[in-house]
Structures are given as structure tokens and as C-alpha cells.
Structure 1
Amino acid sequence: MTRPLLALTLGDPNGIGPEVVLKAARDDRVREAARVVAVGSATVLADQAERLGLGPVHAVQDPAVAAPPGALAVLDTGGPGAGGAAYAWGETTAAGGAQAMAAVARACDLCLGGLGAGGPEAGGAVDGMVTAPLSKEAIHLAGYDFPGHTEFLQAWTGAETVVMVLASETERGPLRVALVTIHVPISAVPRLVTRGRIADVCRTLAAALRRDLGVETPRLAVLGLNPHAGDGGVIGGEEAATIRPALGALRADGLDVAGPFPADAFFGRAAWSRFDAVVAMYHDQGLAPFKAIAQGAGVNVTLGLPIVRTSPDHGTAFDLAGRGGPQGGGADPGSMVEAVLLAAQMARRRMGG
């Protein structure tokens, strides 16, 4: 089996990102599925590895250069940045945001063809990236005007349409939830739910399911915007005016889409298990039930990018940062492990392996 090379960004150094990267890199399933290199501050990673008993680490200049046996290679992105200390567990700082974003930008460049690899068509220096959590507040303090990874990576790569999807393997089969709108206020959602956006999300999702996950004929379920999917127009007209016409046009183009479904009954009765993916209209409509079902084993994947990118489905967990030690404890790396495994699967398909 081909083992792709994946870049693991450290996320916010004040959170659990470095810890889950260190732990995931030691996981036997990860070692079997992929080669990994951490991307971020080598100083931070080495210090936290020593404090948590998760070392050693080895700084490299080229991600393809293997670390000594038993060590994790880290591609150093430099000092603390934004005029702050290297890290301060549990605190929201501009330095933490600056470090997190420097690692994301470097890893993305490596995927796109860093170190002279020739761009995405020729293959990058790494085959995909897995991003540990960052703090949206911290990156704003550092001067970045993006709500999070997804929007930054879309801008950095020039991708026309991106789709945020949460994925998990469950007893009932794979659960995948895509979002029409992402990190926007609820008040802005209705005007952003347009026929064009729904069509773009469904087409991008279906194409990625075929290419990256091997689903030959994707079946998509689309949720309504309003309670009870509008209840025949009694509780809102977006379903009749926007969502149903968009789905009709997609069906005319040969896409297998169903809906709009009322969100509460759809998840409550496990109707999602009959489909390859679910399209939700806004963030909490899709992700609240997803996280309740996935129980911490979910993976965030950005579809529509020219690169492979996944992430754990949790945040920085500042309250847990630094609580582990040489005797164990601390943050659970399960979601990070699943994110690496999914990235490896997607990268292998893109590599033809």
C-alpha cells in the first residue's frame, strides 16, 4: 500500500494541537497508513514533547527527509511571531494565532508544490495536510481576516467553490454532512442560501465523493432551511422559492438528490443512513446532530480544494492544554488520528494508489 506523505500543522500552540499531533504520529494505524511531518514551531513542539513525555522531535528543512527512528520530523516555521511568547497553555494570544496560520500557509504551499515540486499537477512536496485546531479569536488578534481554516485555504489556493464536510464512520455506515453556509451569523443565512450556492455545493460534494472516496453514484439528501422544511409555506417560503427549484435543476442534470427534508426528523429517525451525504443549510443545523452521533470521532474535510485537507472535528480545548504528562492523560487524539487516516485514504486515491 502506498503511504502518502502528510503535513500535520500544530494549530494554536496554547491549545491541544501540538499534543494531539504528537500522539497521532505515534499511533500504529497512522504509521501504517502514512508518513507524517509536523509543520510549525520546532521550539514549541520540542518543548511540549519534553513536558508531556511525547518526544523526541527532529527539525528538518525538507519534509521528505526522515527523522531518526522514534522521532517526529518537524518542518520549522520559526519563532513565536506577533511579539509574543512561544506559547502559554490555555491563553488566547496573537502569537498563538500567528504561529497557527504560519503553519497552515506553509503546509498548503507544500501541498501545492513547495520546494520546487512544480505545482499541484506535478505533485507537491507533500500529498496532503491535516490541520490541528486553531482559535478564530487568536488569528484575528494576529491580523488575519478569515473565520477559520476553510475560508483561508480557499483564498490561498484560489479555489472557486469549497464545501465544508464532517465525516464519521458509524454503526449505521458513513455519516457525511456538508454545509451550504459555514461561519456566518444566523441572521445572514437566508440571503446566502441561494439556488446557485445549493447547486455548487451539491455538485462539488458529488464530484469529491466520486474522486476522493470512491462513491460511484452519490446519493445526496438536502435539508430544508425552516422548521418542518417550511410546512408547505406556513413556516417560511425558502423551500418552495429556492431549495426545491435548485434540486429540480440538479436532478435534470442527472444528480441523485432528495429533499428538502425536515432536519429534526431526518436525524432523529436516522434517515441519513440511506444516503451517501447530507447537505445542511447552516452550521449548527448539520453539525450539532453530527457531533452527537459521531461522539468525538468525526473528521472535518474541505472539498473543492486542489489539495487534500482534513482536520479533527474539535477545537483548541484551551481548558485541557498541558494537562497530560509522561504518565499519560491529557487530550484524546482519536479525532486527529481519524483525520490523518481519511487524508491518507484521499491522498492515495489522488495518487492512483
Structure 2
Amino acid sequence: MVKKAENIIVGISIGDLNGIGSEVILKTFEDIRMLELCTPVIFGNVKILSFLKKTLNLESNLHGIDRLDQLVFGKINVLNIWREGVNLQFGVNDEAVGKYAIKSFTAATQALKDGLIDVLVTAPINKYNIQSEEFHFPGHTDYLNQELEGDALMLMVQDTLRVGLLTDHVPVNEVSGHLTEALIRTKLETINKTLIQDFGITKPKIAVLGLNPHCGDHGVIGKEDDEVIKPALKKLFDEGIMVFGPYSADSFFGSGQYEKYDAVIAAYHDQGLIPFKTLSFGKGVNYTAGLNKIRTSPDHGTAYEIAGKGEADFNSFKEAVYLALDVFHNRNEYKELVKNPLKTKQKQL
């Protein structure tokens, strides 16, 4: 059955309640036209959301529910996953509040696994205050990689700019030890499949950045680019994946070279995210590619310094909702095309 737009259920985890997560969620759905595109369900507590709405002087109409089968299409649903009050202090790093962020996230993930929501959009968390004996992951992506099927890959997206990572939350001094031919193959096969099924790009072109300055200058500044990255890329190219590089990272974005490719893969976190956020901060989306379920997130953190002041820019969160919906439609279309090879051939022509 093809879903109507408003019947696409967007699950939303609340994030750190002392940060700007609730504000950007409520601001996004303050525009009632959003409810023509999807039906949101926020995993949290309707009393807390109502308090935050009043504090921030927002106009969203919230509909509290206790079970997902009570969800009403065309309304902003809030699923009560706890009853007790929470002591909020905007801008404060609080372990107690972090526990509620994880309650929301794990409940939403379970609903995603069970098919009770169609996509998941996560508000920002504090990676320090969420740690506990029950939850000991660096962030959303690592937990989703454990709970869902596939191999997770962080892909930052803003229109046609897409930046992925070979390694994500890894200390810089450990990056080279993680770069193996097997890892490079897995990540690049994942991004290639993602670009085809989730973004509708028939024959993706992927650029890969080198690890070392000037890609090692033929071994003078490191051997990883020549001995690990280049051979891995050649094998993939010979197998039909349009992968190019490695390219020296220092001039790749400034020269506009990235515009020639459908995605750019960086060797480590800051190598990819610094140029991405410089070019698109406030409009970018963090998409967890490679999994059997769809999850997006805004490109910013908890922003404690402006929490509770009504100053948060909600555009990145709104774009995260839009991207989740686009990927949902693209995946469904891809599944239909794969079922009918004739349609696939006609589309390529």
C-alpha cells in the first residue's frame, strides 16, 4: 500500500531537554503545513512539551497519547513514555536529563524497528550525560548500528553536497589503524548503494579524500594513501563503482572540486565535517546511511548557550524532516523499480 503524505509517521526523539531540541521540534511543526507532509509523534511527555511551548511562546497544538495506536493523523502527537516531572535547567549539563533523552531515543528506535513509525528524526543529545551502564555508546549512530540491520555510515547532506566518513567518532591518533581495505570497501559499497536507492542517482560518482597531507607525497608524509587507500579504490573502480581519488583534502573544497561528485568521503570526522559545516551550517542534515531504516538529525548540537531563549534556528531540524521524507519516498520508488526491470531500464533511458 502506498502511503498518503500525511500518513507517513515521523517519530521524533526529544534529545536533551536542557538544550534547544524541543524548541527546534516545536518551531518546525508550528507551521501547520508540515502536517500535510507527515504526522509527527514526539517520544516524551506532553506536560513537559506543553510547558516548553508556553515558556517559548509557541503556538503548536499538542495531542497527548499513551499508545501509538491512539495516534491521530494530521496532529502533533506526543507519546507519553514517562509520567513523572523532570527538573529542567536550560543550558545545564545534567545526567538526570540525559537519562530522559535516552528513554526517548530507545523507545523511538524500538518503534522504528517494529514498523510503528516510518522514519526517525533525532533531536541533539549530550554525548557525555547520556552514558550509563545501560547505554554506553558514543552517540545515536553507534546504537542504531547495533539495533538495526546494515552497516551505518554518517552522511552529512545539504542539497547536492554529501559528505560521508570512513571513520567517525575515532580519536585522530587511532584513525590510521582503522583504515583497512575491508573498511574502505564496506563504506564505499554502502555509500554507492545509498546514492542509488535513497537519492535516486543511477551511476554515482564518489570522491575519496586522502588521509595524510598531500596524500602522503608518495610516502614522504605517510604511506597509508599509497599502500591502503589507492589499492582499495582501484579494486572497487575495476568492479564498476565510480570511485575516484584519493584527493588532497586541503584544497578539495575551496577549489569547488567537490561539485563534480555526488558524494565526498573523508578519512576522519573533522576532515569531512569542518568543510561541510563551513559551507552549509544551519541547513545541513546528518543522515545515517546503510541501515534498513531511515534516521536523520540536524547538523548541530544541544546549543546550551541559547537554550530557553527562543533564539534557536530550526531550519536544520526542518531539513532533517524533509530529507527523511524524501528518502522514504525514494526507497519505495526504488523497490518498485527493482521489482520491474523494464521500468528501471525506461527510467535510465
TM-score (structure 1 length as normaliser) = 0.88
Aligned to 1:161: 151
> How far is the alpha carbon of 1:264 from its aligned partner?
1.3
Aligned to 1:178: 164
1:145 and 2:155 matched: no
Q: What CA deviation, in whole Å up to 9, does each residue of 1:75-112 have, x standing for no partner?
A: 112146xxx94422111111221111111111111111
Aligned to 1:251: 237
Aligned to 1:59: 64
2:120 is paired with a residue whose SS is strand
Code of the aligned partner of 2:66: Q
Between the aligned partners of 1:59 and 1:33, the Cα distance in structure 2 is 20
Check the 8 A contact 1:6/1:130 in 2, yes or no: yes
> How far is the alpha carbon of 1:295 from its aligned partner?
2.9
> How far is the alpha carbon of 1:62 from its aligned partner?
3.7
Gap runs ≥5 in structure 2:
337-349
2:274 is aligned, of 288, 313, 316, to 288
What pairs with 1:19-34 in structure 2 (closer than 5 Å)? 19-27=23-31, 30-34=34-38
> How far is the alpha carbon of 1:67 from its aligned partner?
5.0
Between the aligned partners of 2:241 and 2:332, the Cα distance in structure 1 is 26
The more displaced of 275-284 and 52-61 is: 52-61
Code of the aligned partner of 2:156: L
Code of the aligned partner of 2:179: V
Between the aligned partners of 1:96 and 1:199, the Cα distance in structure 2 is 39
RMSD of the alignment, in Å? 1.9
TM-score (structure 2 length as normaliser) = 0.89
What pairs with 1:206-225 in structure 2 (closer than 5 Å)? 206-225=192-211
Check the 8 A contact 2:39/2:73 in 1, yes or no: no
Using a 3 Å threshold, how does the CA distance of structure 1 residues 68 and 127 change in structure 2: closer, same or farther? closer
Aligned to 1:318: 304
Aligned to 2:80: 76
Between the aligned partners of 1:126 and 1:143, the Cα distance in structure 2 is 24
1:331 and 2:321 matched: no
What pairs with 1:196-215 in structure 2 (closer than 5 Å)? 196-215=182-201
2:193 is paired with a residue whose SS is helix
Between the aligned partners of 1:141 and 1:134, the Cα distance in structure 2 is 14
Between the aligned partners of 1:296 and 1:255, the Cα distance in structure 2 is 32
Aligned to 2:339: none
Code of the aligned partner of 1:97: G
1:38 and 2:19 matched: no
Using a 3 Å threshold, how does the CA distance of structure 1 residues 129 and 273 change in structure 2: closer, same or farther? same
Aligned to 1:107: 108
Check the 8 A contact 2:282/2:313 in 1, yes or no: no
Using a 3 Å threshold, how does the CA distance of structure 1 residues 72 and 86 change in structure 2: closer, same or farther? farther
2:13 is aligned, of 9, 16, 24, to 9
Q: What CA deviation, in whole Å up to 9, does each residue of 1:207-248 have, x standing for no partner?
A: 011111111111100000001111111111000110001101
Using a 3 Å threshold, how does the CA distance of structure 1 residues 142 and 11 change in structure 2: closer, same or farther? farther
Gap runs ≥5 in structure 1:
114-123, 325-329
1:345 and 2:326 matched: yes
Check the 8 A contact 1:30/1:341 in 2, yes or no: no
Between the aligned partners of 1:244 and 1:17, the Cα distance in structure 2 is 41
Between the aligned partners of 1:29 and 1:209, the Cα distance in structure 2 is 29
Check the 8 A contact 1:44/1:86 in 2, yes or no: no
- Sequence identity, in percent? 39
> How far is the alpha carbon of 1:57 from its aligned partner?
1.8
Check the 8 A contact 2:124/2:297 in 1, yes or no: yes
Code of the aligned partner of 2:229: I
Aligned to 2:341: none
Code of the aligned partner of 2:18: N
Code of the aligned partner of 1:256: M
Check the 8 A contact 1:223/1:259 in 2, yes or no: yes
> How far is the alpha carbon of 1:143 from its aligned partner?
5.3
Aligned to 1:133: 124
Using a 3 Å threshold, how does the CA distance of structure 1 residues 193 and 23 change in structure 2: closer, same or farther? same
Number of residue pairs aligned between Structure 1 and Structure 2: 329
Code of the aligned partner of 2:153: V
Using a 3 Å threshold, how does the CA distance of structure 1 residues 196 and 333 change in structure 2: closer, same or farther? same
Q: What CA deviation, in whole Å up to 9, does each residue of 1:269-326 have, x standing for no partner?
A: 01111000000000000000000001311000001111100000000001111002xx
